[in-house]
Structure 1
Amino acid sequence: MGSEIPIWLDASYVQKILRNIEIDDSVEVKNFRAKSATVKGENYLSDIYRVTFDVIGNPRNSTDNKSQKSWIAKILPSGDFCKEMIIDAKFYETEISMMREIMPRIDAILGQINPTTFAAQHLHSDTEPVIHLVMEDLRQKGFELNESRKGLDLQHCLLALRKLAMLHASSVALAEEDLQCVAGFKRGLFHKDHPASEVAFLTLCCESLGKETAKWPELSPGISEKIMKMSKVLYEKAAEAVLFREDDFNVLNHGDYRSNNMLFLYDEQKNPIDLKFVDFQMCAYGSPAVDLLYFLGSTPADELREHKRELLLREYHKTLLSVMDELNCKTKPPSFEELSKSLEERMFYEVAIACVILPLILVSKDDQQSINEMMQADGSLDSPGCKAETYRKVMTRLLPLYDSMGLLDS
């Protein structure tokens, strides 16, 4: 989002962090450089910077007296509306807790059977001078964002769901060891205790879609009218759909599982062979339907959403059962039929994601805007993603389907 480098994010600050990590006050940072790590619209809830520098000295795990490093700094964004919403929703507190405390434990659990890890290494976090965290730069290990604006293909989706199943299975094992450490993550994206500013933003996103669909002759006028009415209750209905139920099969959900929050590693033939998760601001303990419906509503290419839905879900389910078995989990996993029923009961959540999150993903690079830029002087919101041709093509198929299922009725 932001492009101006914070004045405090300098060589001196990075050197202080590095010395704490290395437990060595002789290590020095030279040739410090910082730049924005994302373009406008790639990350709506943070300002993200890449800092690169030379390390002079002999840090641990290095045989050289001089080495190069690259870190990522993730910082509370500027802009009154966005900042207020993020602070009140405690998104940064959630992410810092996840990366500093929970993910290392989950990595250790899965490490008993598989050497893969889920996320970048947390290096530092603080609330001063503004809440932020610093982590390793996964680009140095070859991980990269898939740039497709048409949704992920089958190969990427299968890998993403296998990795998600590994995360969920490992979180079940962690919950069996220490339920309180995962049960404390309660909010996610939609929750009754989130601030009014977040409710207002997502409501306005839905209204923006309603206004835009009124211009689409492919749809009956009644659908636009239903979306406008639905916008008034969208937040409440989505929060109800993902509400924690104690008698469910529950996991620790990523909460924002979409292509923008996946970094892929490729082999020489450009086949995806691994991925890491980024952005743990909306993690929540609850049904795996939360992540699965979010993923289905936001990430696959539409032909997969239409024709390969069961294949994708079965790949997730097969991996979940396999990893839970290898980890010797005592919790009984759901059958595929039970998982499918859970998804069906919460289907409105996928509708909400398709209506308010998918346009933020499919917006063209040239039209990307920050949240503050989307806000209009009259208090309305103009989401450029709702005007994107790719999004229009997807939604002119999905909206009549959702309508036939009664999901647009408010």
Structure 2
Amino acid sequence: MQISELPTWLTNDYMQSQLRAFHKDTQLNVLKLWSNAATGKGENYVGIVTRIHVELEAAATGGAVAQRTYLLKEACPKDAPQAGMFAEYDVYAREMDMYEHVLPRMTQLLREAGIGDKLHADAVCIDREHGIMLLEDLTLLEYRNADRVKQLDLAHTHITLQMLAKYHASAMVLKQRHPELLARRFQTSFFTRGPKGYAVLFTCLFRGLIRYVQTQPKLKARYHAKLTRLLDNLMEYGARAFDVTDDDFQTLTHGDCWTTNIMFQYDGKGQPTTVVPIDFQFSTRTSPILDLHYFFSTSLQDNVLARETELVQYYFYALKRTLCQFNYKGKLPSLLEFQLQFERRKFLCVVIGLVFQPLMIYTGDESPDFWKLYQDTAEAISFQDSVYESDRAQNIVAQLLPIFDAKGLLDEQ
């Protein structure tokens, strides 16, 4: 942990200025700072997250020397292979807008409605000149991630659906009262027509799925030809799931809601009591159902996912309760209409469930560098194939393919 790991401009004086403003303490003094990586390799592809350790004197400490930590989020280096892809999707400016303008206003709306839930980490500063965000370290509040490999049980799932309901409801009210805040930067998803980066990525990963299916005689006989034909329309069918009209039920979604992007507090018995979402690079204006599909397809244990219809109902009533607290007057579908919309947008699960989920629970020995997800070199293909080597990944494919086929999702749409 060397201070040289920090950007050269991130000095004691810089931190002192930012912390004085954030903590409203003009006498706060930064005595020392140093850093270490906040995420392991393969845990955060979009940027660099560094934990900043600060030794300081402040009014809150009675003038005593104390140590605090904060999270520094930076864009990935400009020479990184994926830098162009993330620039194409405007992920950094989007997340800055979320932390600086959107999330604080959504929190304010929740407070006005009598809902005191924490919706996001506080932003110490948003520095667009240097392209960084300095955020509250949620681990100091005893938030932590659940196990991405074990995935989430029913208690974790329920509390996350409650959080999503409050997130979506407050965003719907925000759009009514402050539409200018969502007028730009929130139209692009993984599947948006036009940008090519994630089209290349999903195509490469889907080819990896097809290669695995080809090695399994029973799966090959039933699904190989269908999956091969599906490849050409993969992104268009995904884009249709995100399409909305003025008549559709829509809001601001999280866009990347899975186990690693949500953090929990726990009681003494190990049960989750509070949940906070993190990482808002792909927040998108579309149907809230897309967050449900993404969350269900990446993060739930099998016995929980088996209760999918019941979980949609659970979320729907949580959303209605929250909107009632806001005295929301907008259009709201019936539960039947919502369930039908859920089924209509289910193609997203084909891609996310069959290629992202195995990747998200990957525990293999190969290095999960981001470039290996979208290149077709021998090394990249070796990693893509290794994603399906585990029993868990193979069981996922074996369970999901018959379900998707029975629903007609593997056929021409």
Residues 1:394 and 2:396 are matched in the alignment: yes
Q: Is the 8 A contact 1:210 1:225 kept in 2?
A: no
Alpha-carbon offset, residue 198 of structure 1: 2.5
Q: Which region of structure 1 is more displaced relative to structure 2, 310-319 or 381-390?
A: 381-390
Q: Which residue of 2 aligns with 1:192?
A: 193
**Root-mean-square deviation (CA), in Å?**
2.2
Task: Give per-residue Cα distances to partners, 1:234-280, cap 9 Å, x unaligned.
Answer: 11210121113211111111111111100000011110001000010
Alpha-carbon offset, residue 177 of structure 1: 0.9
Q: Which residue of 1 aligns with 2:354?
A: 355
Q: Is the 8 A contact 2:6 2:34 kept in 1?
A: no
Residues 1:75 and 2:77 are matched in the alignment: no
Alignment of 1:364-403 (within 5 A): 364=363, 366-367=365-366, 369-374=368-373, 375-377=375-377, 381=381, 382-383=383-384, 384-403=386-405
Task: Give per-residue Cα distances to partners, 1:133-161, cap 9 Å, x unaligned.
Answer: 11100000010010240321111001111
Alpha-carbon offset, residue 183 of structure 1: 4.5
Q: Which residue of 2 aligns with 1:312?
A: 311
Q: Which region of structure 1 is more displaced relative to structure 2, 116-125 or 228-237?
A: 228-237
Q: Is the 8 A contact 1:255 1:291 kept in 2?
A: yes
Q: Which residue of 2 aligns with 1:168?
A: 168
Q: Which residue of 2 aligns with 1:210?
A: 210
Inter-CA distance 28–317: structure 2 relative to 1 (3 Å threshold) = same
For residues 108 and 367 of structure 1, the distance between their equivalents in structure 2, rounded to whole angstroms, comes to: 45
Question: What SS does the aligned partner of 1:363 have?
Answer: coil
Question: What SS does the aligned partner of 2:276 have?
Answer: strand
Q: Is the 8 A contact 2:148 2:299 kept in 1?
A: no
Q: Is the 8 A contact 1:211 1:228 kept in 2?
A: no
For residues 389 and 24 of structure 1, the distance between their equivalents in structure 2, rounded to whole angstroms, comes to: 55
Q: Which residue of 2 aligns with 1:334?
A: 333
Q: Is the 8 A contact 1:251 1:288 kept in 2?
A: yes
Aligned pairs, how many? 402
What amino acid does structure 2 have at the position aligned with 1:386? Y
Question: What SS does the aligned partner of 2:82 have?
Answer: helix
Q: Which residue of 2 aligns with 1:293?
A: 293
Inter-CA distance 56–62: structure 2 relative to 1 (3 Å threshold) = closer
Alpha-carbon offset, residue 298 of structure 1: 1.1
For residues 125 and 104 of structure 1, the distance between their equivalents in structure 2, rounded to whole angstroms, comes to: 13
Question: What SS does the aligned partner of 2:5 have?
Answer: coil
Q: Which residue of 1 aligns with 2:260?
A: 260
Inter-CA distance 25–115: structure 2 relative to 1 (3 Å threshold) = closer
Alignment of 1:85-124 (within 5 A): 85-112=85-112, 113-124=114-125
Q: Which region of structure 1 is more displaced relative to structure 2, 111-120 or 5-14?
A: 5-14
Question: What SS does the aligned partner of 1:34 have?
Answer: strand
What amino acid does structure 2 have at the position aligned with 1:208? G
Q: For structure 2, which runs of at least 5 residues remain unmatched after alignment?
A: none
Q: Is the 8 A contact 2:153 2:304 kept in 1?
A: yes
Alpha-carbon offset, residue 314 of structure 1: 1.4
Residues 1:243 and 2:243 are matched in the alignment: yes
Alpha-carbon offset, residue 179 of structure 1: 2.5
For residues 13 and 238 of structure 1, the distance between their equivalents in structure 2, rounded to whole angstroms, comes to: 44
Q: Taking structure 2 as the reference length, what is the TM-score of the superposition?
A: 0.91
Q: Which residue of 1 aligns with 2:33?
A: 32
For residues 64 and 308 of structure 1, the distance between their equivalents in structure 2, rounded to whole angstroms, comes to: 54
Q: Which residue of 2 aligns with 1:283?
A: 283
Question: What SS does the aligned partner of 1:233 have?
Answer: helix
What percentage of residue pairs aligned between the two structures are identical? 25
Q: Which residue of 2 aligns with 1:50?
A: 51
Question: What SS does the aligned partner of 1:35 have?
Answer: strand
